[in-house]
Amino acid sequence: MARDAQTGAWFIVAIHSTKLGPARGGTRMRGYASLDAAILDVLALSQAMTWKFASLRFPSGGGKAVIVGAQELGSEARRLLLIRYGEHLQQFQGRFQTGPDVGTSPADMSVIAERGTPHVFCRTREKGGPGDSAPLTALGVQAAIVDIASRLNGSPSLDGQRIAIQGVGSVGLALAKLLLAQGASLLVADPDPTRRACLQDPNVTWVDPDRVLASPCDLLVPCALGGALNHITLPSLRCRGVIGAANNPLATSADAAELHARGILLAPDFIANAGGAVGCTGIEALGWSPERAQTEVETRIREALAETFSIVE
Ligand code: NAI
Ligand code: PHE
């Protein structure tokens, strides 16, 4: 943990495990109610990264970073902060390796890597990286959705399935397009009014963000921030399956037991949303082609879910 002298922003890096390989995880940039809240979040998120890579049998450990207190910066001050953050990461000598997350983008990754910081994933294509992780994340979430639909319906078809998506940012939007192409009908919510223009389709119904979790549907996909499913929201769910696209969508592990008790099938987030991290790291660290990354993501997620359900069923 270090404080940036120029801006007062905090760089907080959490290394959860290096047992299977270097600790890898995104750098998140957002506001928190307190520094303690940021530390708790980064610790939980770093553990989720360890579980993510291990579940998909990928040779990587888990970590995460947050930059706190930088929301108000102008674009040039923000760019200089990211360069200093990149320099800060060099002390880990590859033990922690980062990529994009909520509040950071491939363009930001290019800036972080600008002064020679190695192992920064998902830089822009112009800078030699594979670009955004969201398309591979969405592809993996779709594979998890098909798997859960198969278990619930005895058929992998999504034709006519009613799927609710909470949050149509980078991942949610890419996912919505994949699901519409498979014939699903969507209920979507996002408090950002600019998102509506990105998703105009007769099979999309926009719902109030406060009501999306309680909307009657076959499958629910939390795709915004963590902790959306908690003791307040869980009793109102009216779905048969939940697919974790957001990291840590359950507020506590007791919430998973509550879902189980209510007969709602859960595809855990650390499996369902692993496609971006595993696919992009596979491309950049293991030399996978983009086509191979897609196949690996879909296959590994299906296998991880099969293994998980073979234990719990
Ligand atoms: P994003 O920031 O592009 O999108 C999040 C969207 O959720 C925004 O459009 C925001 O307005 C919306 N939102 C916020 N609060 C909401 C609410 N109460 N109800 C409905 N919508 C709300 O982020 P991105 O990249 O799409 O990530 C979404 C989630 O998926 C995050 O939890 C992230 O950690 C997780 N994730 C992302 C991966 C990636 O490759 N981008 C990989 C794995 C997980
Ligand atoms: N945001 C990604 C995740 O939560 C983190 C990531 C992306 C890490 C790409 C490495 C490479 O899974």
**To test the ligand 1 pocket, which listed residue (223, 269, 280) has its Cβ within 8 A of the most ligand atoms?**
223
- State pLDDT tens for residues 245-259: 999 999 998 999 999
Atom of ligand 1 nearest to the CA of 222: 29
Residue 46 clears pLDDT 80, i.e. is over it = yes
Residue 223 is predicted with a pLDDT of 98
* DSSP SS3 for 285: helix
Q: How far is the CA of 65 from the centre of ligand 2 (A)?
A: 11
Which one of 49, 142, 170, 208 would you pick to mutate in the ligand 1 pocket, going by the greatest count of ligand atoms within 8 A of its CB?
A: 170
Confidence of residue 312 (pLDDT cuts 50, 70, 90): confident
Output the CA–CA distances (angstroms, integers) from residue 104 to 96, 107, 109, 234, 299, in the order listed.
Answer: 17, 8, 8, 30, 28
Band the pLDDT of 313: cuts 50, 70, 90.
Answer: low
Say what the pLDDT of residue 71 is: 85
Q: Mean pLDDT over residues 286-312, rounded?
A: 97
Q: Is 130 in the pocket of ligand 2 (CB under 6 A)?
A: no
Place of tokens 């939980």: 44
Instruction: Give 312's contacts (C-beta < 8 A, 6+ positions apart).
Output: none
- Relative to beta strand 219-222, strand 241-243 is parallel
Average confidence (pLDDT) over 241-246: 98
Cα separation of 229 and 76, whole Å?
A: 37
Residue 302 burial (CB count, 10 A): 17
How does pLDDT run across 181-191, given as a tens digit for each residue? 999 999 999 99
Q: Using the atom order of ligand 1, give the atom closest to the CA of residue 103.
A: 2
Mean of the pLDDT values across residues 10-27?
Answer: 98
Catalytic residues: 64
Report the chain's mean pLDDT, rounded to a whole number: 97
Q: Please state the pTM of the whole predicted model.
A: 0.97
* Nearest CA residue ID for atom 9, ligand 2: 277
pLDDT band at 1 (very low <50, low <70, confident <90, very high): very high
Cα 266 to ligand 2 centroid, rounded to whole Å: 21
Please give the distance, rounded to the nearest whole angstrom, from the Cα atom of residue 197 to the centre of ligand 2: 27
279 lines ligand 2 (CB under 6 A): no
| pLDDT (average), residues 291-313 | 95
Instruction: For residue range 221-235, list pLDDT tens digits in order.
Output: 999 999 999 999 999
Closest atom of ligand 1 to 226 CA is 32
Spatial contact of 164 and 221, defined as CB atoms under 8 Å apart: yes
Interval 80-134: pLDDT, tens = 999 999 999 999 999 999 999 999 999 999 999 999 999 999 999 999 999 999 9
Q: Residue 155 has what pLDDT?
A: 98
